Chains A and B, each alone.
Chain A
Amino acid sequence: MLSSETPRAGLFSLDETLRQNWPEDVQALAQFVEPILAALVELHAEGRFHGAVHPGALWFFPNGTWHAEHFRDAALDGPNAPDFSAHEYRAPETFLGTRDAFSDCYSFGALLCKLMSGRAPAPAYRRLAQVDALEAKDAPKWPPALVALANRCLCLEKSARFASAQELRFALSGILWALVFPSPEAEIRLQPEEMSNALDIIVVPDWNQPELFDASIVEDSEAACMRLEAVEENQVTEAPEVSEPTTVPVKPRPTLPSSTIRERLPNASVGRLYRVELLHLFGVHAVQVNTASIQLPEGFGLNYDADTGMLQGNPVRAGEFELEITYALNEAPADAPLLRHLVKLTVNPDPASLWLNKPSDPDGLYAKPDSAVATLLTPDLSAFAASLRGRSHAHEGKYRDDDFALHADTASGWHVFMAADGAGSAKFSRCGSRLACSVAMENIRQRLTAGNELEEALEKLGTHAPEPEGVEKLRCVAANFFTRAAYEAFSAIHKEAAEQKASLRDFATTFIVVLARRCQEGWFFAAFSIGDGGAGVFLSPDHVEVLTQADSGEHAGTTLFLTRAELFQRPDKLLTRTRAVFCKDFRFLAVMTDGVTDPIFPSDAAFESAEAWSGLQDRLASVADLAHPAPGLEETLLDWLKFPSPGNHDDRTLLLVLPNGTPAHE
C-alpha cells in the first residue's frame, strides 16, 4: 500500500500541480478530473471501489499528466486496509469502517470542492446533515449545476449521493455538454426536470435560486424542520417547485443522519462483564453529541453511567432487546426536544446454563456407567483411575466412550495401565474402547507371569543403570508384547463388529498402554499408543519423560484409531510406536485420554515440556496430597475432572500412578 508514501522523486503533489495550472473553466476541470473518474468507473463496473480518493493518492508528472499507476496502487478496496486519507476526503461511513462506491463518490466530491473553492470541505463529522458542503458563494465562478453536483457527491446520507462513478460521469458530461454546446437540445438537458429523469442529478431545489437556507441566521426550529422535510420529499421525487423565498430564512434543525448511527450495540453475554462506551454508537459524530442516555429495563444487569458515558454491568437475561437512546446535540438550542434512536442489543446465554446432564440408558446396547473409578495398590506403587463422561455426552444422555484398565502381576512386579477413547462420531465406540482395554489387558495378563520374555530381557540388563543399547533391546521386547496385545484387541473388535453387522469404524477407539516395573536401580517404563491422548512420567519440575506421541493431523479431530486395519498390515511400523524409559525415581505417571490432554496441554510441544507437566502437578496437588495419597483419591480425581474449559467437553480419563516408599517430593 503506497497511499501514505510519496511515490518517487520527480513527481508533483496535487497542490503543486494546481499552483502551476489551476483549471479555470468547466471544460478544463472536467479534463483534469476525467482520468480519475475513468479509473473509478472501471473499478465500480467490476463491483470494486477505490477507497482512498484523496491528494495522497494523486501525483503528477512534471508535465502535469497524472500518475495513474500510483492511484491504482493506493486503492484500499478491502474492509481491513488502513486508511491514510485526509479526513476531509473521507465519507462519514468510512469512519464506521464501511467503504464502497458511494464513499468514492463522496471523496470525488471533496476533490471537486477543492478544485472549485480552493479548499476541501469540512470533514464529514464536523458537518450537519442536509447542509451543503460547498456553498455557492465559495465557488462563485462555477455554474450552480456544478456546485450542486459536488454537493450531491458530498451528501452525508449515502443514498442521496451518486451510486457509482459512471452515474457521476454522466452527470458531469451533461453539464459540460450544455455549456460547451449550447443548443436547444442541450438546454433541455439542463432543465432540472430533464436532468432528474435522464441523469438523476437533482440535488437542491433549484440551482439558479439563491440558497434556501442561510446558515448564518438563527432559525425557528419547528418551521425549519417542516421546511426541511418538504425539501427532502422533493429531493427524492421530482424537481421541486420553487417556492417564493421565505421572509424568515431558516437553518435546518441539527440532526444526525440516522444511517451513520449504529443500529446495534456490540453483543453482550450473560454473566460476562460488558463495558461499552455509548458514544461509540455515534461513530464519527460522537463529538457532536452533547448528552446521551439509554433506557434500560429493571433488573437488566446493565447500568449507564452518565459521567463516564459507559454502559456496563453483568447482563442477567439472554435475548434480543431493543433499547431507546435519547441524545442532544451540541448545536441544538437548549429548548430543542431530545432526539431518539433505537438500538438493538443481543445478550447471549451463558453456555453453562444450557448444558444438560441426562443419565444414559443403563439397559441399552453396550451400556456403560457415566463415570468409573478404580484403585490399584501394590508394594511398589499406588494407582488411581477416574473416568468421567464429557459434557457433550451428558447433554444428550449418551454413553461415555472412554475406558481404562489397570493390573498388577504381584509375582513378577509388573504393572499395566491402559486408557482408550472411543470416537464420538462412531456409534459403538464405547464398546470399542472397552474391548480394547479388556482384551489387550487379558492378553498381557496371561503373558506377564514369572519368567516372561520381558523379565528375561530385564535380567540381562543387570542391576546397574542400563546402557542405551540394553534399553533399546528391552524396548523391542516390549514393542513385540504390545503389538500382539493390540492385535488381539483389534481382532476382538473386528469379530464384534461382524457379529453386530456393523463396520469397524463404528467401534473406532484410540489406545494407550503403559508397563511399569520397579528395578533395583530405579524404574522401567514402556508405552505404546495409537491415536491422541498420552502418557508421561514426571520426574522433577524440569524433567518429564513423555512415553507417547499423539497422532494428530493438520486439523483438530484428525487422529488415528486402533480399528484401522491397515495398521496391522505393517507390523514393523507398529513396533516403532513403543517408547521405553529408565529412571531412578519419579513423582508421578499419568495416562490420559485427549479429554484431559487437550485442555491441559495447549499443543503437542507443550505435552513434551516439563513446565506444562509441572502445571499439571500443581493442579493435582491443589486437590490431593500426592506424596501421601489417601484412600479415596480416585473420587477426588473424578471430581477434579469436572474442571471447566470452554470448547473442551470430551470424556475425560486419568490414571495417576504414584510410587511408594520413595519420596514423591524432595
Chain B
Amino acid sequence: MRRLPVYLLLDISGSMSGEPIEQVKNGVQTLVAGLRQDPYALETAYLGVITFSSTAQEVVPLTELTAFQAPSLQAGGGTSLGAGLSKLAECALRDVAKSTATQKGDWRPMVFLMTDGKPTDDWLAGLARFKHEKWGVVVGCAIDGGDTDVLRQIAGEGSVVQLNTSDSAAMGAFFKWVTASVSSSSKSIEQGGKEVSGLHELPTPPPEIKVVF
C-alpha cells in the first residue's frame, strides 16, 4: 500500500508554553478527528509528530491514522529548529518507502511546520539536511512572532502562513485547513495524478489565515 506520510514539526520551546501549546494540542486533536471522517485519509494517511525545543524529539513515529494517538506536549527550552529539520529528514529517510524494482514507493511526505520564534541553533545546517530529502507540500506556519523569513527558506515562497494565538478561531481554521489539505492531497494522489507540490495546489486557505508573500 502506498502511504501518504504527513509530518507535523512542532515548536515546543519555552515561549510556546501556556495558551499556544494548548492550542497546538487541540489542533492536533482536531486534525486527527477530521481526518478520521475522510475515507481517503483513513486508508492512506500516516501521521508522525516531531517536536523541537532545546533538542528535537520524534514524539510519534509515522503511524497509521487509525492507530494514531495524539501525544502530550510540554513546552520548555530553546528553539532548535535546525535539529528539528535534521530529525525530520532522518525520520523520513528511515520511514518513507521509495520506489524500487521490488516495492512501490510511498507518496512524497507532506510537512506542516509550526514555530513562534527564531531558531536558536545552527538552523542552516538543519535546512541543508532537510533539503537532502524529497518532500511533497511543505507549509510553514508562523505563530505570533515566528520568523517568516526562515520559514520561507524552508517551505518555499508562498507556502508560509501567519497566525496569532490570541486568535483561537484562526488556529482552529489552520488545523481544519491542514485536514482539508491532507484530504485533497490523498484525493489527487489516489486519482492517479501528479502529486501536489505547492501551496497553490492545496485548497484555498480560509480568510482567517494570512498567507505571507
Interface residues, chain A, with chain B CB atoms under 8 Å away: 45-48, 78-80, 264, 266-267, 269, 318, 320, 346, 348-349, 351-352, 354-355, 390-393, 395-396, 398, 401, 421-426, 429, 505, 508, 532, 552-559, 561, 593-595, 598, 602-606, 646-651
Contact = CB atoms under 8 A, between A and B. Distances in A.
B189 to A, nearest CB: 6
A346 B192 CA distance: 31
Given A48-B55, A264-B69, A602-B104, A553 B189 contact: no
A268 to B, nearest CB: 9
A421 B39 contact: no
Interface in B57-106: 57-58, 61, 65-69, 77-78, 80, 96, 98-106
Contacts of A355: 39
B36 interface: yes
B55 A46 contact: yes
Closest A-B pairs by Cβ, 8 of them: A424-B191, A47-B54, A424-B193, A423-B193, A425-B193, A425-B188, A354-B39, A650-B192
B192 A595 contact: yes
Given A46-B55, A47-B53, A552 B2 contact: no
A649 B39 CA distance: 10
B12 to A, nearest CB: 10
B99 A354 contact: no
Contact of A424 (B3, B38, B43, B192): B192
Contact of A558 (B67, B68, B191, B195): B195
Given A554-B98, A556-B2, A602-B104, A351 B53 contact: no
A337 B80 CA distance: 49
B173 interface: no
B40 A649 contact: yes
B99 A392 contact: no
Contacts of A266: 67
Interface of B: 1-3, 33, 36-40, 42-44, 53-55, 57-58, 61, 65-69, 77-78, 80, 96, 98-108, 134, 187-196, 201
A595 B53 CA distance: 43
Contact of B55 (A47, A390, A396, A650): A47
Nearest to A645: B1
Contacts of A605: 101-102
A559 B1 CA distance: 17
Contacts of A595: 192
B32 to A, nearest CB: 9
Nearest to B69: A264
B54 A555 contact: no
Contacts of B68: 267
A557 B100 contact: no
A646 B64 CA distance: 13
Contacts of B189: 424, 556-557
Nearest to A647: B1
B101 A392 contact: no
Contacts of A647: 1-3, 43-44, 190
Given A269-B66, A558-B195, A649 B190 contact: yes
Contacts of B1: 646-648
B37 A354 contact: yes
B101 A348 contact: no
19 contacts: A46-B54, A47-B55, A47-B78, A267-B66, A346-B69, A348-B36, A348-B42, A349-B36, A354-B37, A392-B187, A425-B195, A552-B104, A554-B99, A555-B106, A558-B194, A594-B192, A606-B102, A649-B190, A650-B190
Given A390-B192, A647-B1, 14 more contacts: A78-B58, A264-B69, A266-B67, A351-B43, A392-B40, A392-B191, A395-B39, A396-B187, A425-B195, A426-B193, A555-B96, A555-B105, A647-B2, A647-B43
Contact of B107 (A48, A320, A556): A556
Contacts of A649: 40, 43, 190
Nearest to A557: B195
Given A48-B55, A396-B187, A423-B193, A603 B69 contact: no
Contacts of A351: 39, 42-43
Contacts of B193: 401, 422-426, 429, 508, 557
B42 A349 contact: yes
Contact of B100 (A264, A396, A561, A603): A603
Contacts of B2: 556, 598, 647
Of B40, B55, B67, B193, chain A has the most CB atoms within 10 Å of the CB of B193
Nearest to B41: A351
Nearest to A606: B102
Nearest to A595: B192
A447 to B, nearest CB: 30
B196 A598 contact: no
Contact of B99 (A47, A346, A398, A556): A556
A231 to B, nearest CB: 27
Contacts of B195: 425, 555-558
Contacts of A505: 194
A425 B106 contact: no
Contacts of A348: 36, 42, 65-66
Nearest to A601: B104
B4 to A, nearest CB: 9
Given A425-B194, A557-B189, A647-B2, A598 B42 contact: no
Nearest to B195: A557
A349 B104 contact: no
A242 to B, nearest CB: 34
B39 A555 contact: no
Nearest to A652: B192
A603 B104 contact: yes
Contacts of A648: 1, 190
Contacts of A594: 192
Interface centre among A45, A266, A557 (most CB of B within 10 A): A557
Given A349-B37, A555-B108, A392 B102 contact: no
Contacts of B57: 79
A401 B77 contact: no
A80 B95 CA distance: 14
Most chain B CB atoms below 10 A, which of A264, A505, A559, A648: A648
Given A348-B66, A426-B193, A651-B192, A602 B39 contact: no
B106 A79 contact: no
A80 B60 CA distance: 11
Contact of A393 (B66, B100, B191): B191
B39 A426 contact: no
Contacts of B188: 424-425
Contacts of B106: 555-556
A346 B103 CA distance: 32
A78 B58 CA distance: 8
Contacts of B40: 392, 395, 649
A263 B69 CA distance: 11
Contact of B192 (A269, A398, A401): A401
Among A45, A79, A392, A606, find the residue whose CB has the most chain B CB atoms closer than 10 A.
A392
A159 B112 CA distance: 31
A429 B188 CA distance: 12
Nearest to B135: A555
A348 B67 CA distance: 9
A425 B107 contact: no
A390 B103 contact: no
Given A354-B39, A396-B187, A647-B2, A557 B194 contact: yes
Given A46-B54, A348-B36, A604-B101, A554 B194 contact: no
A396 B190 CA distance: 12
A79 B57 CA distance: 9
